[in-house]
Structure 1
Amino acid sequence: MDGAIVVAFAALFGLAIGSFLNVVVWRVPRGESIVSPPSACPKCHHVIRSRDNIPVISWLLLGGRCRDCREPIAARYPLVEASTGVLFGLVALRFGVSWALPAFCHLAAVAVALALIDIDVHRLPNAIVLPAYPVALVLLGLASWNPGGTADWPSLVRALIGGAALYAFYFVLMMVYPAGMGFGDVKLAGVLGLYLAWVGWGALVIGAFAAFLVGGVFSIALLAAGKATRKSGIPFGPWMLAGAAIGIAAGEQLWSAYLSILV
């Protein structure tokens, strides 16, 4: 199948998943079911019609307002849908038609949900993080098995070691400085370690380092702008996920370039 077609299909699928993630981000922190009741306007409580539930397009056609009460609908909803579509497209661009594609699309969906929830409530819910472990093992196991092609079991072994190592690293950080690191970050680190190490050791190192680099730069910028103080609680989950994205996208190349400088 042509690469452009794969990317387009992945992006369209990502739009649909993004619509569902809006529900997840709103309901999971509140302990509500993500299955029922159907989505409704938070102002007038009218159930959203099927024709008004088309990702991004419905919001644009309605002018960003509810069809029934005409109250504004936050632009965040279509932005989440569009962002998820873009992420899925980028994953397809990175991995192409392979068994790794569903694994990393799953990670992209989890990343969007967790980043937004952590920003909203400064929490990484177990309801999302813990199921990500078995799903990651199954999907990465399938990618390593690679039915119809050559198996790559060393990648799965590397993933298991990397997941345990990054979990242990964050656990030590939490013990040393509990005020700056929560157990939710530790549990997320294990998931990210699985995916990063599956790609390669370089991806794991760069992904782990990039989280602290990007998060640190952002924190310093907030302090310099007077938007935060040293005592402000800044969620670290989004930066862990951003670092993982960097590691997956370019970690191997960056690590090889760094090693070539040392030699």
Structure 2
Amino acid sequence: MPRGESINGRSHCPRCLAQLKARDNFPVFGWLALQGRCRTCRLPISSRYPIVEAVVGLSLTVVAVAELYQVSLPGQTQTYGGALWFPRLDPLMLVTLTYHVVGLTMCWALGLIRFDGNRLPANLSYFALMFTSVPILVFPALMVVPWQMEVQNDWQPDGRYVDAMIRVITALVAATALGRYLAKGFCPTADPKLDPLGKSTVRLIDLIVILSIPALLVGWQASPAVIVLASVLAFWIHPIMPRKTDALGRFAVAMPIALTFQIVFWRRLDSADTATGLPFPLWPSENSSPGVMLFWLLMVGVVPLWLREAPVDTDPNIADTDPNADDAELSLDLSCENPAFEQEAFVEDRELSGASESASELMEQKRDADTQQDEAEGDPIQPFDDRGSENRDQLNDQS
């Protein structure tokens, strides 16, 4: 989508544009079967594809298994049933699982796009926000937890349409407030008023969209803990990443990992679940004390200290008319500063030049063969004889 291509239709090789076969599109195994090269042009396919497919697939699988066996969501009473333990399926659980899986998939898509230094496509952002908010308004049972801080133990979300609307509003407001505060570290030159002509405003908008997905899926109460966990992961994976990126990109790609942790261990982390909750309810939830919420909000305030981006010095007299310029320069810097990327690009260029030379040789051989065939089939071409013109010149001189 950042390249302007549609997600509809079949996948194709980005170099030779040849459509991939169905068996080549199988996650991870398709890349292994092709030995990391295109079936048509035989140029290398980046190893990022199987890595992303494996990580995203593992994340979705863990969430699906945890919810199918009803051990992750608050309020569920399913316990371990032995070696022959089968999941208990019901319509509400399947709808909730679909909602969480698709929402987590949207979080992965947004994070990976932002990881590459690209601006989030508007259509994808709208779809992600609509999918995570509208289903709650239509089917309040998807809330799982309420928007209030203190509720009764027998609280049920069925039929609470007003609560669902307030839940969506509070989640979006919390994401906007936290995003504007985190902008001090991720995009220090952004305009907190979301001025469309402000410096790095698009980065701030992308940050708010990324924060809105977890807030809508698991509630605004757990958002501070998810943000802190994602920031810790972003700080930890910085040295081991095969490709350098900015702090916002690292945070964006760490957000779905933190969200997966929250969903899988939601029941264990929920302080309202007295049966399986933590003995010391320090994780923020709908029944957390004000002290716990204040602690996590203070922790969010520390995030910009270790994930701060150095502001770029610019001339204040020159207006910033292209808010995407920073991201474009960032993408260029990412590709130029990474030695591994340079080596891979050099190998690809060398293979491309070799393929071009081979194609030129084949064309030349074919042209020579066609010429020889024409000479063999037709009469040989007689060389031009200019003796007739010389005789005419002599006759003219004599006359």
TM-score by length of 2: 0.47
Please give the alpha-carbon distance, in whole angstroms, between the structure 2 residues aligned to 1:34 and 1:129.
Answer: 15
**1:151–1:49 CA distance, 2 compared to 1 (3 A):** same
Q: Does 1:48 align with 2:20?
A: yes
CA positional deviation for 1:260: 6.5
Q: Give the aligned residue type for 2:209.
A: K
Q: CA deviation at 1:195?
A: 0.9
Contact 2:230 2:257 survives alignment (8 Å) = yes
- 1:211 is aligned to 2:183: no
Could you say which residue in structure 1 is the equivalent of 2:179?
A: 170
Equivalent residue for 1:114? 110
The one-letter code of the counterpart of 1:128 is L
Q: Deviations over 1:31-58 (max 9, x none)?
A: 222225x422223332212232233332
Deviation (angstroms), 1:216? 4.1
Q: What CA distance in whole angstroms lies between the structure 1 residues aligned with 2:67 and 2:169?
A: 20
Q: Measure, in 2, the Cα distance between the counterparts of 1:156 and 1:94.
A: 27
Contact 2:111 2:255 in 1 (8 A): no
The 3-state SS of whatever aligns with 2:113 is helix
Letter in 1 for 2:246: G
Structure 2 counterparts to residues 18-57 of structure 1, below 5 A: 28-36=1-9, 38-57=10-29
1:250 corresponding residue in structure 2:
265
Q: What corresponds to 2:214 in structure 1?
A: 192
Q: Tell me the secondary structure at the aligned position of residue 116 of structure 2.
A: helix
After superposition, the C-alpha distances for 1:83-112 in whole angstroms (9 at most, x for unaligned) are 332222112123224121111111221122
Distance in structure 2 (CA, Å) of the matches to 1:55 and 1:78: 7
Counterpart CA distance in 2 for 1:54 and 1:211 is 29
Structure 1 residues 58 and 172 mapped into 2: Cα distance closer, same or farther (>3 Å)? Answer: closer
User: Residue in 1 aligned with 2:385?
Assistant: none
Residue of structure 2 aligned with 1:158, choices 160, 167, 171:
167
1-structure distance, mates of 2:204, 2:121: 12
2:256 corresponds in structure 1 to 241
Q: CA offsets per residue over residues 164-195 of structure 1, 9 Å max, x none?
A: 22222212443798427622101222222111
Judge conservation of contact 1:144–1:151 (CA < 8 Å) in 2. yes
Aligned sequence identity (%):
26
Give the AA of the match of 1:69: C
**Contact 1:92–1:101 (Cα < 8 Å) also in 2:** yes
Indicate if the aligned counterparts of 2:230 and 2:254 stay in contact, CA closer than 8 A: yes
Tell me the amino acid that sits aligned with residue 32 of structure 1: E
Matched position secondary structure for 1:73:
coil
- Residue identity opposite 2:2 in structure 1: P
Deviations 1:1-38 (A, max 9, x none): xxxxxxxxxxxxxxxxxxxxxxxxxxx111222225x4
Any unmatched runs of 5+ in structure 1? Answer: 1-27
Specify the alignment match of 1:128 in structure 2.
Answer: 124
- TM-superposed CA distance for 1:240, in Å, is 3.3
Match of 1:10 in 2: none
- Do the aligned residues in 1 keep the contact of 2:107 with 2:255 (CA within 8 Å)? no
Q: Match of 1:92?
A: 64
CA distance, structure 1, for counterparts of residue 139 and residue 61 of structure 2: 19
The residue that corresponds to 1:182 in the other structure is 204
Question: For residues 252 and 71 of structure 1, do their structure 2 counterparts lie closer, same or farther at Cα, with a shift above 3 Å needed?
Answer: same
Distance 1:91 1:142, change over 3 A: farther
Amino acid at match of 1:188: I
Q: Which residue of 2 aligns with 1:63?
A: 35
Measured in 1, the distance between the counterparts of 2:235 and 2:40 equals 45
The total of aligned residue pairs comes to 223
Kept in 2: contact 1:114–1:237 (CA 8 A): yes
User: Partners of 1:102 and 1:142 in 2: how far apart?
Assistant: 15
Q: Is the 8 A contact 1:167 1:193 kept in 2?
A: no
Structure 2 partner of 1:22? none
Counterpart amino acid of 2:26? I
Question: Structure 1 residues 42 and 30, CA, compared in 2 at 3 Å: closer, same or farther?
Answer: closer
The unaligned stretches of length 5 or more in structure 2 are: 69-88, 143-155, 190-202, 272-277, 284-290, 293-399
